[in-house]
Amino acid sequence: MELPKRKLPRLSGYDYSSENYYSVTICTHNKKCIFGMPDNPTVCGKIAEEHLLNIEKHYEGIQIDRYVVMPNHIHAIVVIGCDPEAERSRPFPTLDTVLGLYKSGVSREIHKIFPEIKVWQKSYFDEIIRNKEAYKEICRYIDENPLKWEISKGNDH
CA atoms of 108 and 96, how far apart (whole Å): 18
Average pLDDT over residues 24-49: 96
Helix-, strand-, coil-residue percentages of the chain, each rounded to 5: 40, 20, 40
Mean pLDDT score across all residues of the chain: 87
| 51 contacts: CB under 8 Å, gap ≥ 6 | 102, 105, 106, 109
Q: State the first-to-last Cα distance of the chain, in angstroms, to the nearest integer.
A: 42
Is a pLDDT exceeding 50 seen at residue 155?
no
Average pLDDT over residues 50-75: 94
pLDDT of res. 60: 83
Q: Does domain 20-84+91-155 have CATH number 3.30.70.1290?
A: yes
Confidence of residue 148 (pLDDT cuts 50, 70, 90): confident
Of residues 38 and 151, more confidence is placed in 38
CA atoms of 64 and 15, how far apart (whole Å): 19
Is a pLDDT exceeding 50 seen at residue 111?
yes
Q: State the maximum Cα–Cα separation within the chain, in Å, rounded to a whole number.
A: 56
Is a pLDDT exceeding 60 seen at residue 154?
no
pTM of the entire structure? 0.85
